[in-house]
Amino acid sequence: MNKPLRHIAVFCGVLVLALLVQATWVQFARSDELASDPHNRRVRIEAFSQPRGDIIVGGESITGSVQTSGSDFKYKRVFTNGPMYAPVTGYFSQAQGATFLEGVHSDVLGGKDSRLLSSPLSLLTGEKPHGGDVVTTIDPKAQKAAYKGLTDLDAKGAVVALDPRTGKILAMVSTPSYDPSVFAGMSGKEGEEFQRLDKNKDKPLSNRAIRETYPPGSTFKILTAAAALEHGTVTDINAPSGIPAPYQLPLSRTKIGNVVPDAQCDKVSMKTGMQWSCNNIFLDAAHKTGKDQMRETAEKFGFNKEQFTPVRTAASGYPGELDQPQTALTGMGQGSVTSTPLQMAMVTAGLANDGKVMKPYMVDELRGPDLSTIEKAEPEELNQAVSDSAAKKVQEMMEYTVSDGTGSKVKIDGVTVGGKPGTAQHGANVNDERPYAWFVSYAKQSDGSSPVAVAVLVDPKDMNISRSDIAGGRLGAPIAKAVMEAVLKR
């Protein structure tokens, strides 16, 4: 072979080798990257090429798949009671992608999870597995009670209910909500509907239960009490405190009063302070417990950390750097402390469970199309936040608050109920914004265990009620009661 031909042969060989290397690199090293690229239309076509598995609530499917025409996307998603369950399911849209359970467990629902293969030969034959199901922990009656409670008020807000013994999420509602079915396809009309929802000032696409944080107001006093008891700041919940009302913040001339007459809170015990939600008692308890021990207890309940249910939540916050007045203000859930409704449900559930906080979760089981179990959830302890003795003292105070105090609207005949209402000021000038109304509660069975704890948040900004009528006991308690009754009747 002459020299020019040899050079050409070598050059062609190099080109072929480069082509093989590139093909190998694309098919193996970059396969996952290309498969997840949102601009890869073939992947999206495949995702909508067959019916999807379902999300299950109370033994019934709340999702489905229907055939479409005029598109290379063969199927699209439909949702039953879409607005009520949207904070759980999220959406699965041909144009907008997937969120919440539809997104987190997309591989199982779409049949891509390797555990769904019927046999090892499936890998060789190219057999495409059918989608599996996601079985949730949601109690349909509790979910309905929570959604009805908020929508009957025509309020923005959220409700979360937990089983304190296991951490199962029994209800998760956020209002205003949306129907994921209305923008599940690719049509221009559906795209316009998504844009309308996305730009709506009331933020219907936002999950207020787990993705937004708020000042928890007086509901946080149950955590303040737990921290004070755990660290020895308070030892006797029935002893007079000697704390005057109104309360002067440390290193400040500012005095904080109470909703009830100050004389009703002057120098009272912590139990009486909880009964009438006396700010002076809990401001002083937080100040004397100190920012580090307050934060330590808050973090054991789940603050300052994202939770995965498996959907990721926003982190509730107890700040690290606080001066003495700011530390005192956290005792009544004001200042710079923030919480999701899920987090306050975790605090309530942990106290109802004798100080043991269970990790919250809302998927009980993943199963194949043949109904075989491919993954089963097991309850998992998050922390022993406080001792059982400290927790039981807080229970005593919360139950007294329901039987003889500001939480009376959550009473259930024949059932022991503990609760705490709260009203949370917010905004640059606290008098400029209408306060949030909170209510947290739990119900006990005859054996002393608690099957349900609830946190209710109502944002009355656009409600047609006077500011004086905004109170957690008035707005949130009836919702909490209805949710607890739904679980207890189960």
Residues annotated as catalytic (active site), given as ranges:
218
| Residue (of 55, 171, 43) closest to 105 by Cα position | 55
* b/e sequence 348-359, b meaning 16+ C-beta within 10 Å: bbbbbbbbbbbb
Q: What angle do CA 288, 344, 383 make, to 5 degrees?
A: 75
The distance from CA 134 to its chain's CA centroid, rounded to whole angstroms, is: 18
- Is the preceding peptide bond at 87 cis, omega within 30 degrees of 0? no
Q: Please give the backbone phi and psi of residue 116, each rounded to the nearest 5 degrees, phi first.
A: -90, -5
Give yes or no for a contact between 487 and 170, defined as CB atoms under 8 angstroms apart. Answer: yes
Instruction: Give the Å distances, CA to CA, from 224 to 12, 145, 265, 327, 422.
Output: 76, 30, 17, 11, 14
DSSP 157-219: EEEEEE-TTT-BEEEEEEES---GGGGSS--HHHHHHHHHHHH-TT-TTS-TTTS--B--GGG
Q: Answer whether 284's CB lies under 8 Å from 247's CB.
A: yes
What is the Cβ-side half-sphere exposure of residue 62, based on CA atoms within 13 angstroms? Answer: 27
End-to-end CA distance of the chain: 88
Residue with tokens 């396809």: 185
CA distance 401 to 484: 17
Residues 6+ apart with CB under 8 A from 430: none
Residue 299 one-letter amino acid: E
- For 105, 108, 304, 310, 383, the CA distances from 92, given in Å and listed in that order, are 11, 13, 30, 17, 34
* Among 309, 378, 320, CA closest to 345: 309
